[in-house]
Amino acid sequence: MPERALADLIADGRVHLFDGAMGTMLYAKGVFINVCYDELNLKAPDLVRDIHRAYVRAGAEILETNTFGANPAKLGHFGLADETAAINRKAAELALDAAGGGARAFVVGAIGPLGIRLEPFGETSRLEAFELFKTQARGLLEGGVHGFVLETFSDLDEIREALRAVRAVCGLPVFAQMTIQEDGATAYGSDPEAVARALDEFGADVVGLNCSVGPQGVLEAIERMARVTGRPLSAQPNAGLPRQVGDRKIYLASPEYTGEYAKRLVEAGARFVGGCCGTTPEHIKTMAAYVQSVSPRHVVSVGFEPPAAPSGVEPVPLAQRSRWGRKLDAGEFLTTVEIVPPRGVDPAPMLAGARLLSAAGVDAINVPDGPRAQSRMGALMSALLIERDVGIETVVHYCCRDRNLLSMLSDLLGAAAHHLRNLLIITGDPPKMGPYPEATGVFDIDSIGLTNLVHRLNHGLDPGGNAIGAPTAFVIGVGVNPVAVDPERELRRLAWKVDAGAEFAITQPVFDADQLERFLERIAVFRLPVVAGIWPLVSLRNAEFLANEVPGVSVPPEVVARMRRAQDRGKDAALAEGVAIARELLARIRPMVQGAQVSAPLGRVPVALDVLA
């Protein structure tokens, strides 16, 4: 693997997954705490390698070597100081073997504290600490690591010496992670802001936290660190605090709990997440499902240069692909209403709503694909029924959650053969959000990768660059959130989507025209037609639900207050107020956007038509 490969991963702006606890897994397999866990690299290599492999299978992209305590000071307690280089070298080789030589995951050399205090709080000088760390770093480098992770440090002076030692032996990337206590500060009293600034100043490639007090405490600290550093952030919390159960210490935070917090950590700004004490491959597997829905780590990249169509194949011009594409190309205002497919096999109510919309002159019907991970009639089949039986065009959501790359390719070729033309490509909500929490997400690629794939199909090529005959004629849409928790990340992802071939965007439901206007100003450089999502509120409960429980939606307090006042006058008054709010918003934003997507709340199509009237 190229020496700069891990540096490229750090620079790609996406979210990536570390592994979990090595010590927890060794303990679970019967290795007691009076044993030198680092020596197991030499004495029980198969055991260590198998644990690494379990984390790779769980979805970890970055493996840490089993060397947290493999420095001469700690190994000296077991009479193993002279074995420092051999233990570290073997640890790196084991992790690399489990990672397929680096083909399946990166390997970073784990370096922990010396276990002794540095001056002025102890007898060990900084120079001595530097030399001890350098000995360990050399052994890891000889073993072939792709980078280093300095973890669970409490003393900023000590981690600085560890970083200096690594830099003295190589220029590989370094993750620098401190640990905090229940009060949110390190054992030496440094708060998260001071930690972030110091690690940034020391020159770490990635700064962050690990171990500590559990996911919630780490989340609060990461939120504070994100405000004061531009470095990528990493977070690897414990699975809560351990409980003494018999003669064992057990970490009780479930995989679901740590997975949910992994997603929150990403939303707070962390780009590298994983687990520390108490986390297992099951925790990492669940984290992967949650994190992928925010910013999946596996992205199929087919290059940002437009692919050259095979000889004799001409891509279909936008205006000729569909009526939706023609109006996009002409800069005309578009209207679409979202109708959710039925839960069962009867499409009659959906088709009745579609007929109302067609008669009203709506341009297209927006068909979601399993929103909030709920099982409904498939979006492609629903759209096919609507276009066949009603004659109105659809904009079909197509998400990456439920299908692997080959399945998506098959679906899209079939959709093209049936003349479904308009796509809204989305990553999809994780299965844990829905009523079938044991279901598994696939996420072979995310919305950026799928946009690349569809763009290639439109040029007559499959993902491998093979000709498919006539090109497809999809109009490529993507989702965008003007009120994202991390607006910079949202802008970066939109830029990648545009580079990948996006031709229009539909926003999440918007309730604040000023927020939308500011967002549109920032993305004007992309020259991408934007269709604004509008949700007519039907009740105070509906407003409160969207404001507090739906990710990616922001309902201003004044809107909720209006609905509360209207609710006091009765249900009909609340519905009328919700429609009035939506109409006012549409009138305000109409000059800013190229279209409006109005939701039919609870399937109530007449409410959506009232907004467009």
257 vs 330: CA distance, rounded Å = 49
Residues 41 and 170 occupy one common structural domain: yes
Query: What are the helix and strand counts (H, E) for the chain?
Result: 24, 18
In a shared domain, residues 287 and 324 = no
Burial class of residue 602 (count of CB atoms within 10 Å of its CB; 0-12, 13-18, 19+): exposed
Do 349 and 381 sit in the same domain of this protein? yes
Q: Is there a single domain that holds both residue 392 and residue 269?
A: no
Strand-pair partners of 273: 17, 235
Helix/strand/coil percent split, the chain, to 5: 45, 15, 35
In a domain, 267, yes or no: yes
Q: Is residue 569 in some structural domain? A: no
Query: Rounded CA gap, 346 and 509, in Å?
Result: 28
Q: Which DSSP string corresponds to 512-568?
A: -HHHHHHHHHHHGGG---EEEEE----SHHHHHHHHHHSTT----HHHHHHHHHHHT
Q: Which of 260, 294, 328 is the last residue of a domain?
A: 294
Number of structural domains (the chain) is 2
Cα–Cα distance for residue pair 70/143, rounded to 1 Å: 14
Say if residue 233 is in the same domain as residue 370. no
Q: How far is CA 270 from CA 208, 247, 473, in A?
A: 8, 35, 38
Predicted local confidence at residue 521, as pLDDT:
95
Please indicate, yes or no, whether residues 99 and 136 belong to a single structural domain of this protein.
Answer: yes
pLDDT of residue 252: 55
Per-residue model confidence (pLDDT) at position 437? 53
Question: How far is it, in rounded angstroms, from Cα 344 to Cα 341?
Answer: 9
Residues 363 and 280 in one domain: no
483 located within any domain: yes
Interatomic CA distance for residues 224 and 178, integer angstroms: 14
pLDDT for 264: 87
547 within domain boundaries: no
Residues 284 and 377 in one domain: no
- Choose one of 230, 260, 294: the last residue of a domain: 294
Q: Are residues 91 and 228 in the same domain?
A: yes
In this structure, what DSSP letter does residue 154 have? Answer: -
> Is 35 within the bounds of a domain?
yes
* 531 backbone dihedrals φ, ψ, rounded to 5°: -105, 120
**Residue 190 within a domain:** yes
In this predicted structure, what is the pLDDT of residue 485?
A: 80
Q: Is 593 helix (H, G, I), strand (E, B) or coil?
A: coil
In a domain, 178, yes or no: yes
Residues 87 and 23 in one domain: yes
pLDDT at 112: 96
Could you list the mean pLDDT of each consecutive 10-residue stretch along the chain, which spans 613 residues?
72 90 87 87 95 93 96 95 97 95 91 88 87 97 97 95 97 96 86 94 96 85 91 89 49 75 88 91 88 48 51 90 97 95 92 96 92 76 96 94 84 95 87 55 75 91 83 96 87 89 95 94 94 94 85 87 94 94 96 96 92 91
- Return the CATH number at 473: 3.20.20.220
Domain stops at, among 262, 278, 294 = 294
Residue 18: CATH number of its domain: 3.20.20.330
User: What pLDDT is attached to residue 131?
Assistant: 97
Judge contact between 19 and 63, C-beta under 8 A.
yes
The helix/strand/coil state of 152 is strand
In which domain, by residue range, is 360 found?
318-538+592-612
406: in domain: yes
Residues 414 and 525 in one domain: yes
Residues 328 and 276 in one domain: no
